[in-house]
Chain A
Amino acid sequence: MLEIFPALPLLLGAIAAVFTRGRLRAALMVAAPVVGAFVVWSQTQGATVEFELLGYTLTPLRIDTLSTLFGYLFHVAALLGVVYSLHLKDTTQLVSSLAYAGCAVGAVYAGDLLTLFVFWELLAVTSAILVCARGDDRALGAGLRYLLVQVTSGVLLLVGILAYAGAGNSLDFDWIGTDSPGGWLILVAFGIKSAFPLVHNWLTDAYPEATPSGTVFLASFTTKVAIYALARGFAGTEVLIYVGATMACFPIFYAVVANDLRRVLAYSLINQLGFMVVGIGIGTELALNGAVAHACTDVVFKGLLMMSMGAVLHVTGEMRASELGGLYKKMPKTMLLCLVGAASISAFPLFSGFVSKSMIVSAVLKEGYDVVWLALLFAAAGVFHHAGIKIPFFAFFAHDSKYVKTAHEPPTNMLVAMSLAAALCIGIGCYPEMLYGLLPYATDYSAYDTSHVLAQLQLLAFSALAFTSLKLYHVYPPELRSIHLDAQWVYRRLAPTTLNWLFVRIQRADRAFRGFALSGLGWVTRSIVRHHRPTGTLARSWPTGSMMLWMAMLLFLTLVLYYL
């Protein structure tokens, strides 16, 4: 059958959203991801669309199991996000959300590196609009920093592609590896978008600043596109295992001390990405399956958590753990849905996180990376700690906050979106075969064997114990009204102060120089005017005698010159 670009329905939906309003727009926006998912379903595996451009063969569309899986995933995420944001009237935000989702779909179907680059940059632009959508100074600043990082990633990608293609490789987007400098550049570009350690700050910086629904979209696409790209281009690259393990562990500490609950989730997002990166780094069929499966479940449960926090933010306008609490009295449904998300991210058996995370952990153990395995166990416990317990505890329980009086359930569309996500979490958790069937490699993996379940339950129990005892003995870091800086310190403190110091000096030198130049210029101009104005030396009528003098002088001069 005729191959349709799967990104088309979402992009058309975005265009339609520009020109329509009210219910029509709502219907169109919901229809767009549904139609898109149908397109994904109707496509033939292995089909490609190619065309020639300037002597290069470009493949804007390539359909295989990996892209199909992400195609479904992104349409589901887009649907959840759209439903969640139905109550909005902000055209800019709605349009850029859909366009953003469309670009993500386009990116995973890109069959060549140039097409990938184009969507890569489009992703950056559309998502930056979402970050800025709140419109205040903080959001604009975060948006610009975000855009800067994303564009840097795009530029690195382009340079990498050029170097890679220049070394005689084809432009097809398949396994790239790190054998060539171009490959390294591309890896770094992917790494920036996957929030590798030290280049992760754009994520924790920007996501908490977006609007409630904006964050839902943001958390779903950018990093998952990067994970997809890593899985396709760099499967089995060993360095990724250690990078991933670091990613899984270090955010835990930050997540524990972070006060903004969405920032906690952002750190937790990096931690989940760490699991996937480890899976990609191992590169066996089981590990890759686990990585992409975890990407799928993560989109749903992280989306659910983001949605529930967004709902709290929407209702109260507050996101700091220190100011929230006790909301279960007024928002019981939200609280329940949030708990489903928390259970999923913590990988409780029967919830979605369990079926995917256990695949990665098993693969790690199977390939004999014991240290990494321990790190992942620690990370898994930490997840339960900060995402599974901290989020619902501080938002809905803890002490009663001043918001309890005025709080209420969020709009219906939000609840519907969250319920859909929660249903998916439980559905995948109970019937993992549904997900496994879509994975790129055939698998007979079973999550529910005794050892997995038992190990996970022990982990969870002790983690809960730790949290409880810390809390009881008041050792738990209190929620402080603070913004903490990690590696961002380099560019939010060190760079500005250094630059400032430099600029002050440059400015001083510059001012002195310009002052000097200006006064010199002024002097020259004044003397020109003085001598050339109608009464000036050179312009006034001279007495005959002076003319004679000039003549004599010139004669003298020429005589001297000629005799020399």
Chain B
Amino acid sequence: MLVVLAPLVAAPAIVLIGRARAAWHLALAAVVASFAAACAIAWKVSREGAIDYALGGWEAPWGIAYHVDFLGALVLLTVTGIAVAVVTYARPSVEREIPESRRYYFYGCLMLCLAGLLGMTITGDVFNLFVFLEISSLSSYALIGMGRDRRALNAAFQYLVMGTIGASFILIGIGFMYMMTGTLNMADLAVRLPEVADTRTIRAGFAFLTVGIGLKVALFPLHLWLPNVYAYAPSVVSAFLGATATKVAVYALLRIMLGIFGVEFSLGEMPLHALLVGLGSLGVVSASLVAVFERNVKRMLAYSSVAQVGYMVLGIGLANTDGVTASILHIFNHALMKGALFLALGAVMYRIGSVHIRDLAGLGRRMPLTAAAILVAGLSLIGVPGTVGFVSKWYLVLGALESGLWPLAALVLFGSILALIYIWRLVEVVWFERPAADAPAIDEAPLQMLAPILVLAFANLYFGINTDLTAGLAQRAAEALLEVNR
């Protein structure tokens, strides 16, 4: 429980204290505690299997149950780990980008958002899932709105509208399910749904859930809110949301579609797999192409995120062990690469004040470590062997070939080539071009920012070579998901 409770309690405490410095310290303490709890849970899960916890002693299906399995443990680890990195990093960046008076609000919202995401991960109750979704969404609207210019407000407003509609779609879907089964507990739903699966109500509910979660996932073409959000939010928020928010949404997709409705219903009777594969492929190609032409690096990475989400959705759509493994693995791996990239860009923003590709010329000479992290995470994004990006793409290609869909394997490779183009454009500017004559002399980012960046960049390499932990966990999670309702 501590894993959700720590940030959830920290949030009001921060607002009550109302002082920026103390707020940061409290937030850091909360995320570290949360991370430690996540580690403990992961360790327990890996030893004893899935954990169930009845909130307030009310047993399921009447009370609210928490349920953590392999998949949940992996996502918990990812989210809390990124949170530790981001909060550590946050102080200098926030001091630069957010006015003093609002800083403690910022930390409060960040904690709330984290609590929401963790709650979504850990809960075993669909309505609870909706509640946590709303907690994380509402706090993230506030976080985005704190961006330095008015475009951030606009982006936040758009996201607010879209996200609210998405959430209401999800709520409608949950309502339909409740209507037909009379339960909100996930395990209970999984048992009862098959009896009533062949009704219009359930099908409509399924459709609402698909679109609602699709919006949160930023499934093409419901991704349109995402680029502006990532581009104009404060650096810390970009990094945090970019690394976690869509991943937790993918997790929710997995839980609801595969865990509750079951593989046979979702991917067998319903043409969800066709939808996922089709839209995923479109997303990969289209978003990558946009990224190739984009000049604002943050926006470019945002589009790249849409493409990466496309890979994850593709993997789920394949509906075989390797494909789902690839998706789960990519949740973790993409958090590592995008976390590193957005944090590095935050450091660039901190020093240069811009993330336009033109202003990054010669960065390799001025901020060598940050630029090196960009290089490593960029290579990982492309999927170069020896980095995490390679591992998940490898599983994805395996999954595609296993299903006999070699054009999809070719598409993954094509997407990698597009990634190569837009990443190499960045690398070339950063490493091979000379800085503009009037560029200000700047130093490397402060250590407090640099350390999380380098740790994440290193993790990109480490988990790319030592794949036992992540790939093993992901594979077991995938097997569990696909087995549950066989």
Choose from B203, B211, B215, B293 the contact partner of A539 (Cβ within 8 Å): B293
Q: Does A491 belong to the interface (CB within 8 Å)?
A: no
A558 vs B209: C-alpha distance when bound (angstroms): 10
B293 touches A561 (CB 8 A): no
Choose from B206, B271, B290 the contact partner of A538 (Cβ within 8 Å): B290
* Residues of the B chain whose Cβ atoms lie less than 8 Å from the Cβ of A551: 162, 165-166, 211, 215, 222
Residue of B nearest to A562 (CB): B203
- Minimum CB–CB distance from B216 to chain A (whole Å) comes to 12
Q: Per-position contact with A for B289-333: 1 when CB-CB < 8 Å, else 0?
A: 110111110000001000000000000000000000000000000
A532 touches B221 (CB 8 A): no
Main secondary structure of the interface of A (DSSP, over half): helix
A539 vs B227: C-alpha distance when bound (angstroms): 9
Residue of A nearest to B271 (CB): A561
Main secondary structure of the interface of B (DSSP, over half): helix
Q: Does A175 belong to the interface (CB within 8 Å)?
A: no
A559 vs B200: C-alpha distance when bound (angstroms): 10
* Residues of the A chain whose Cβ atoms lie less than 8 Å from the Cβ of B293: 529, 532-534, 536, 539
With A532-B286, A533-B293 as known contacts, state yes or no: A542 contacts B206, CB within 8 Å: no
Q: Per-position contact with A for B195-231: 1 when CB-CB < 8 Å, else 0?
A: 0000010011011101100110000011011011000
Residue of B nearest to A543 (CB): B158
* Residues of the B chain whose Cβ atoms lie less than 8 Å from the Cβ of A562: 203-204, 206-207, 270-271
* Residues of the B chain whose Cβ atoms lie less than 8 Å from the Cβ of A538: 286, 289-290
Q: Does B161 belong to the interface (CB within 8 Å)?
A: yes
Question: Considering only CB atoms and an 8 Å cut-off, how many residues of chain A contact the other chain?
Answer: 25
A536 touches B290 (CB 8 A): yes
A550 vs B225: C-alpha distance when bound (angstroms): 12
- Minimum CB–CB distance from A409 to chain B (whole Å) comes to 71
A554 touches B206 (CB 8 A): no
A550 touches B270 (CB 8 A): no
Q: Per-position contact with A for B330-351: 1 when CB-CB < 8 Å, else 0?
A: 0000000000000000000000
Contact size range, B: 35 or more
Choose from A532, A533, A541, A557 the contact partner of B228 (Cβ within 8 Å): A541
Q: Does B275 belong to the interface (CB within 8 Å)?
A: yes
Q: Does B141 belong to the interface (CB within 8 Å)?
A: no
* Residues of the B chain whose Cβ atoms lie less than 8 Å from the Cβ of A546: 224
Choose from B165, B207, B286, B295 the contact partner of A534 (Cβ within 8 Å): B295
A72 vs B302: C-alpha distance when bound (angstroms): 85
A459 vs B282: C-alpha distance when bound (angstroms): 93
Interface residues of B in 237-287 (CB under 8 A from A): 270-271, 274-275, 286
Interface residues of B in 70-85 (CB under 8 A from A): none
- Minimum CB–CB distance from A180 to chain B (whole Å) comes to 47
Choose from B157, B207, B214, B295 the contact partner of A559 (Cβ within 8 Å): B207
A539 touches B275 (CB 8 A): no
A541 touches B161 (CB 8 A): no
Choose from B157, B275, B286 the contact partner of A558 (Cβ within 8 Å): B275
Q: Does B169 belong to the interface (CB within 8 Å)?
A: yes
* Residues of the A chain whose Cβ atoms lie less than 8 Å from the Cβ of B274: 561
Q: Per-position contact with A for B41-85: 1 when CB-CB < 8 Å, else 0?
A: 000000000000000000000000000000000000000000000
Q: Per-position contact with B for A524-553: 1 when CB-CB < 8 Å, else 0?
A: 000011001110101101101011101100
Q: Does A555 belong to the interface (CB within 8 Å)?
A: yes
With A532-B289, A539-B293, A539-B303 as known contacts, state yes or no: A554 contacts B211, CB within 8 Å: yes
* Residues of the A chain whose Cβ atoms lie less than 8 Å from the Cβ of B227: 539, 541
Q: Does A563 belong to the interface (CB within 8 Å)?
A: yes
A533 vs B290: C-alpha distance when bound (angstroms): 6
Residue of A nearest to B274 (CB): A561
* Residues of the A chain whose Cβ atoms lie less than 8 Å from the Cβ of B158: 544, 547
- Minimum CB–CB distance from A523 to chain B (whole Å) comes to 16
**Which of B200, B207, B208, B271 is most buried by chain A, counting CB atoms within 10 A of its CB?**
B207
Interface residues of B in 152-180 (CB under 8 A from A): 157-158, 161-162, 165-166, 169
A396 vs B389: C-alpha distance when bound (angstroms): 86
* Residues of the B chain whose Cβ atoms lie less than 8 Å from the Cβ of A564: 271
A559 vs B166: C-alpha distance when bound (angstroms): 16
* Residues of the B chain whose Cβ atoms lie less than 8 Å from the Cβ of A532: 286, 289-290, 292-293
Residue of A nearest to B286 (CB): A538
A463 vs B275: C-alpha distance when bound (angstroms): 97
A532 vs B292: C-alpha distance when bound (angstroms): 8
B224 touches A547 (CB 8 A): yes
A561 vs B224: C-alpha distance when bound (angstroms): 23
Residue of A nearest to B227 (CB): A541
A560 vs B86: C-alpha distance when bound (angstroms): 43
- Minimum CB–CB distance from A216 to chain B (whole Å) comes to 61
Residue of B nearest to A528 (CB): B289
* Residues of the A chain whose Cβ atoms lie less than 8 Å from the Cβ of B275: 557-558, 561
A547 touches B225 (CB 8 A): yes
Residue of B nearest to A552 (CB): B211
* Residues of the A chain whose Cβ atoms lie less than 8 Å from the Cβ of B295: 534
* Residues of the B chain whose Cβ atoms lie less than 8 Å from the Cβ of A542: 224
- Minimum CB–CB distance from A536 to chain B (whole Å) comes to 7
* Residues of the A chain whose Cβ atoms lie less than 8 Å from the Cβ of B161: 544, 548
Interface residues of chain B, those whose CB is within 8 Å of chain A, are: 157-158, 161-162, 165-166, 169, 200, 203-204, 206-208, 210-211, 214-215, 221-222, 224-225, 227-228, 270-271, 274-275, 286, 289-290, 292-296, 303
Q: Sample 29 A-B pairs with CB under 8 A, ordered by A number.
A: A532-B286, A532-B290, A532-B292, A533-B293, A538-B286, A539-B290, A542-B224, A544-B161, A547-B158, A547-B162, A548-B161, A548-B162, A550-B224, A551-B162, A551-B165, A551-B166, A551-B211, A551-B215, A554-B211, A555-B207, A558-B206, A559-B203, A559-B207, A561-B270, A561-B274, A562-B206, A562-B270, A562-B271, A563-B203
Excluding A551-B211, A561-B270, 17 further A-B contacts by CB distance (< 8 Å) are: A528-B289, A532-B292, A534-B294, A534-B295, A534-B296, A538-B289, A538-B290, A544-B158, A547-B162, A550-B224, A551-B166, A558-B206, A558-B210, A562-B204, A562-B270, A563-B200, A563-B203
Query: Nearest 9 CB-CB pairs, A to B?
Result: A558-B207, A532-B289, A539-B290, A533-B293, A562-B203, A559-B207, A555-B211, A542-B224, A532-B290
